[in-house]
Amino acid sequence: MGSVVLPHLVTGWHVDQAIMSEEERLVIIRFGRDWDPECMRQDEVLYRIADRVKNFAVIYETPEREIRLAPAYDIVSTTPYIPRDTLALTLNDSKSFPARTQLIKFMRLVTSRTQTGVLELLDRVAYGVSISIAEATAYGRRHADARSFADRLIGVMTRGLDRLGLEPVPVRASQELLM
């Protein structure tokens, strides 16, 4: 049922275009196999709700064998575990972590924000990372067995901020970690 009733995305480029072209609606993509009974049930459910959500969401399906996405570890830092690790995907033909100017250029391209808007986003990132540093510090103090890992994690986050020309923001860890 899936390949007949839902719009089909057949390549990674099509997936990118579907996501990038929608500015107002949520993009829902069901990855899977057309012949798989579970995927077919999901397609039926998605098809039934498609008309009800059309004003705020668009639904696609794509065959798993045709599209390959980056593994989930691309969105999670592995450097506390593997200090010399690199990005799984390339950015500007490199797997190295981007320098500040490269990241700003990429963010402006992807988000269509102004320079000021991108710098505000980076300030928000610095704030979020600073909270994580404070919480990792508090956790390491409370749990001696985790102190070594907390120190490595704090080092990675601090070097990341430094590489981007950002300073940690003075924050306190959440109350539950301070107890």
Confidence check: pLDDT of 114 > 90? yes
15 versus 81: the higher-pLDDT residue is 15
Q: How confident is the model at residue 102 (pLDDT cuts 50, 70, 90)?
A: confident
Range from 15-19, 70-74, 88-92, 135-139 carrying the lowest mean pLDDT = 70-74
Instruction: Name residue 62's beta-bridge partners.
Output: 31
The verdict on pTM exceeding 0.85 is: no
Mention the CATH class of domain 2-63: alpha beta
Domain ranges of the chain: 2-63, 72-178
Q: What is the pLDDT of residues 123-163, one digit of tens each?
A: 888 888 888 888 889 888 988 888 888 898 898 889 888 88
pLDDT at 58: 83
Question: Quick one: which H or E segment has residue 27?
Answer: strand 26-32
34 versus 177: the higher-pLDDT residue is 34
CB 2 within 8 A of CB 61: yes
b/e map 79-117, b = 16+ CB within 10 Å: bbeeeeeeeeeeeeeeeebbeeeebbeebeeeeeeeeee
Q: How far apart, in whole angstroms, are the C-alpha atoms of residue 55 and residue 26?
A: 9
Q: How confident is the model at residue 96 (pLDDT cuts 50, 70, 90)?
A: confident
Give one word for 165, left, alpha or beta, with left for phi > 0 and alpha for psi -120 to 50: left
77 versus 73: the higher-pLDDT residue is 77
Q: How confident is the model at residue 71 (pLDDT cuts 50, 70, 90)?
A: very low
pLDDT at 115: 94
Q: State percent of the chain over pLDDT 90.
A: 4
Range from 59-63, 77-81, 109-113 carrying the lowest mean pLDDT = 77-81
